[in-house]
Structure 1
Amino acid sequence: MTAVKSGWREAFLVYTRPRVLGMVFLGFSAGLPFLLVFSTLSAWLRDVGVELSVIGFFSWVGVTYSIKVFWAPVVDTLPLPWLTKCIGKRRSWMLLAQLGIAAGLVGMASADVESQLQWIAIFAVWVAFCSSTQDIVIDAYRIEAVVVEYQGAMAAMYVLGYRIALLVAGAGAFYLAEYFDWSIAYQMMAACMLVGVAATLIIDEPLPNEDQEARKLARQVEAAIGVAGRRNWLARLGAWFSDAVLSPFVEFFTRNGKFGLMILVLIATYKMSDITMGVMANPFYLDIGFSKKEIADISKIFGFFMTIAGASIGGVLVARYGIMKPLLLGAVMAAATNLLFVLLAVSEPSLALLAGAVSADNLSGGIATSVFIAYLSSMTSTAYTATQYALFSSLMTLPAKLLGGFSGIVVEHYGYELFFIYSASVGLPAIVLVLVLMRRYARVNIQSPSLKKRG
């Protein structure tokens, strides 16, 4: 698992490559719908008098993002009639999802909240479904479009576009709703999806990169379950299920052997420290005496720019040093910066100290995110890009979110100081696993199929 190292000049020039720059616009397209079916939608519903209990039910829309792995095999393998022939497999699915998002937002804007709340719920689920489908395709495109040493930069540009979209769908939608109304705000958000549509039509389709070893393995799996070479429709359906669903998992463990399970555990634990701390961050700021305005100012200004800076640095480090050393750095920094909040917890409220802690936390989070995305990208086979990455991305957040649910209990029983020490300690398994995998890659010098040059 190595990448070609380059000089610092070449490492920084990675951000001038057209496909890397194009990820800003695709990241914007991916980030825009997210808040529009979550916090922005909650604000709209509450603003017009919808009961809190009903608003709470709308949070279930988010389940769609967590189960996208179930239809990722369809996106990975099935062509769209006519459209795929015209613009390619990845771009056709991307365009369809973007048009679906825009149509869903227009539907939400057209429904009357007081008398047609059920239609807003239906359209919100539709937007979330199309948005998560778009995520599947953009992730697959990003992995297939460039070689692995550019994946950190691709992730950094994606994060930049995504963060800008969150500002537009958050603060931007609020401003539009204040000066006009929520219907106009959602119509304008639908129009903003044209950014993604234009990017999809401009970018080039990645060149197909058929993995012969993966195809051979797929035929072996078909034979093992008894659907190889059969002609009836049930056997053909079984063969598709074998190729699209079973083979991606078999291929991953065949390629990585006994270390496959260790890699999955790393994926499940790498963001655990960051997510666990994040659950209690805002309550902590309020409890130690900072005002909501102070928290917003610090998190928006320092948080936004330091995350972008960290993601950009992560992209440069991957291009310069490969993946594993920056991956270790990100794991160490994500855990270590949590200890800064211990100092904040035992000190008098200080905006300078808050800004320093938030800056360090977001900088390390940005580095860890872009490097980790590059690592996940390198772990996928080009034969099953969308399916394997959808699995990885779901595994990346689900255990951490489950553990984060116990954060309040830890704070109530032991206080914030011990909680932040605890949140730093849950990052130790990821550090150990990265070190073990670094030794493994150095010893056997294995290069994953995903490191091959892509179109």
Structure 2
Amino acid sequence: MAFRDYFAVFTNRRIAAAMFIGFASGLPLALTGSTLQAVLSDAGLDVKTIGWFTLVGQPYTWKFLWSPLLDRFPIPPGRRRGWMMVMQLLLAAVIATMGGLNPAEHLATYAVLALLVAFFSATQDIAIDAYRTELVHHEERGAAAAVGVFGYRMAMLTSGAGALILADTVFNWQQTYWLMAAIVALLAVFTFFSPEPQTDARPPKSLQEAVVEPWKEFFSRRGAWLLLALVIAYKLSDAFAGSLSTKFLLDMGYSKAIIGEANKVFGLIATIVGGFLGAAWMVRLGLYRSLLVFGVLQALTNAGHWFIAQAGAPDHTLLFAAIAFENLAGGMGTTAAVALLMSLCNPRFTATQYALLSALAAFGRVYVGPAAGYLVAQLGWADFFVFSVAAGVPGVLLVWAMRARIRELDVN
């Protein structure tokens, strides 16, 4: 089979839907993050107040708490699409309302609206993750993960850098937020016409069943604890290497402009390319071999930072090479990791189980920062990145130890 044939998995309506819902997931994020900070700054608010606004993103962290509601109570026109549409229409209304207010004059109201955007967006994410998992066939999981990440990243550019450029050149903030609201409303129309997953799984009969049964069902499986350990450990190497990367490059003498170009532009492109390559290779390799190969690659390519530390002086060729290999491998690893999460979900409880598993998968990215700071202080930068490579070993060993179980997941 020619390599181009492996890309054929991308050419169907289900994968197109996965890309657009990825875009829907990513669009609101910057509107409660970097773009919101720019709005507040232009309104003349002080840095302390802006700092408090960073807390509006908390619903993304705690969304698993209300995820059982989405398993228990379906909303027409589909079990997942109904929730997605309702959240998108609510998001459009709240984002448009934010555009019509001056945060300096309506600070408390603006804070509540920003919190609502984060809450509705996090709830939409629960439905989107469940929908994507139930929609695609098992051989399409890698492709769905790749196009989902691509759509998500494009949406973040739209509501992040795109919104900043529009507000500075073409529109004011009011018009920019109204445009973002209109885009979200259009996404609700797309959701309405998206395909419905073909599944015979019945929803939980009670809220108690929706809360208790997902855990009970998961831990009844063979190797459940090792699978959870794998979910946590698989991206740990990347979490350590990326936790202080900007500080590291500044210490090595690289300018902020070069760091931004390397990480935010070149690195983003490499991550997206890696995601699509990973999805194509997953068709040939299967889930187990993909997790194993990509896990080894994403750990080893973190050694590029070690070479930068050893160079002793800024070397732009070395920097871009290191970023390229690291993000290519990281993109492939992310595709395999998302496919693993999708394969672990029972269709009856997809919303709850995916929300819980994805929270565990984010554990390293969220919590290794403090430990990384202490390790750098004790080891120095070069040895720290040797440690980051070693941090990938447990995840690879768990993949190998669970190979029979992972192969079973790949055919279900």
Which residue among 40, 43, 55 is the counterpart of 1:48?
Answer: 43
Match of 2:137? Answer: 147
Alignment of 1:429 onto 2:394: yes
Greater Cα radius of gyration, structure 1 or 2: 1
Indicate if the aligned counterparts of 2:43 and 2:102 stay in contact, CA closer than 8 A.
no
The alignment's TM-score, normalised by the length of structure 2, stands at 0.94
Indicate if the aligned counterparts of 1:303 and 1:359 stay in contact, CA closer than 8 A.
yes
Aligned-partner Cα distance in 2 for 1:57–1:334: 35
Alignment of 1:173 onto 2:163: yes
Instruction: Give the drift of 1:11.
Output: 2.2
Question: Which structure 2 segments of 5+ residues have no match?
Answer: none
- Cα deviation, 1:1-22, whole Å, max 9, x if unaligned, reads xxxxx87454210011111122
DSSP-derived class of the 1:349 partner: coil
Alignment of 1:49-448 (within 5 A): 49-80=44-75, 84=76, 87-179=77-169, 180-210=171-201, 240-254=206-220, 256-257=221-222, 259-347=223-311, 348-438=313-403, 440-441=404-405, 447-448=408-409
Amino acid in structure 2 at the alignment position of 1:301: V
Indicate if the aligned counterparts of 1:335 and 1:427 stay in contact, CA closer than 8 A.
yes
Instruction: Give the drift of 1:417.
Output: 1.0
Aligned-partner Cα distance in 1 for 2:83–2:411: 24
Instruction: Give the drift of 1:113.
Output: 1.4
- Cα deviation, 1:109-160, whole Å, max 9, x if unaligned, reads 1221112111111111111111111111111111111211100000100011
Aligned-partner Cα distance in 2 for 1:39–1:277: 23
Aligned-partner Cα distance in 1 for 2:279–2:265: 22
Indicate if the aligned counterparts of 2:243 and 2:368 stay in contact, CA closer than 8 A.
no
Indicate if the aligned counterparts of 2:304 and 2:323 stay in contact, CA closer than 8 A.
no
Aligned-partner Cα distance in 2 for 1:187–1:406: 42
Question: Which structure 1 segments of 5+ residues have no match?
Answer: 1-5, 219-238
Indicate if the aligned counterparts of 2:13 and 2:195 stay in contact, CA closer than 8 A.
no
Which segments of structure 1 move beyond 3 Å, counting only runs of 4 or more? 6-10
Aligned-partner Cα distance in 2 for 1:45–1:9: 48
Aligned-partner Cα distance in 2 for 1:23–1:432: 31
DSSP-derived class of the 1:323 partner: helix
Aligned-partner Cα distance in 1 for 2:160–2:332: 24
Indicate if the aligned counterparts of 1:269 and 1:400 stay in contact, CA closer than 8 A.
no
Determine what percentage of the aligned residue pairs are the same residue.
37
Instruction: Give the drift of 1:176.
Output: 1.6
Aligned-partner Cα distance in 2 for 1:172–1:389: 30
The alignment's TM-score, normalised by the length of structure 1, stands at 0.86
Indicate if the aligned counterparts of 2:239 and 2:364 stay in contact, CA closer than 8 A.
no
Alignment of 1:15-30 (within 5 A): 15-30=10-25
Match of 1:234? Answer: none
- What is the number of residues matched between the two proteins? 410
Indicate if the aligned counterparts of 2:95 and 2:117 stay in contact, CA closer than 8 A.
yes
194-203 or 128-137, which deviates more? 194-203
Aligned-partner Cα distance in 2 for 1:195–1:427: 42
Amino acid in structure 1 at the alignment position of 2:123: T
The alignment's C-alpha RMSD in Å is 1.9
- Cα deviation, 1:391-446, whole Å, max 9, x if unaligned, reads 100111124421223222322333211221222222211111111001x438xx7x
Indicate if the aligned counterparts of 1:276 and 1:401 stay in contact, CA closer than 8 A.
no
Amino acid in structure 1 at the alignment position of 2:241: M
Indicate if the aligned counterparts of 1:266 and 1:430 stay in contact, CA closer than 8 A.
yes
Indicate if the aligned counterparts of 1:312 and 1:367 stay in contact, CA closer than 8 A.
yes
Aligned-partner Cα distance in 2 for 1:7–1:133: 41
Instruction: Give the drift of 1:30.
Output: 0.6
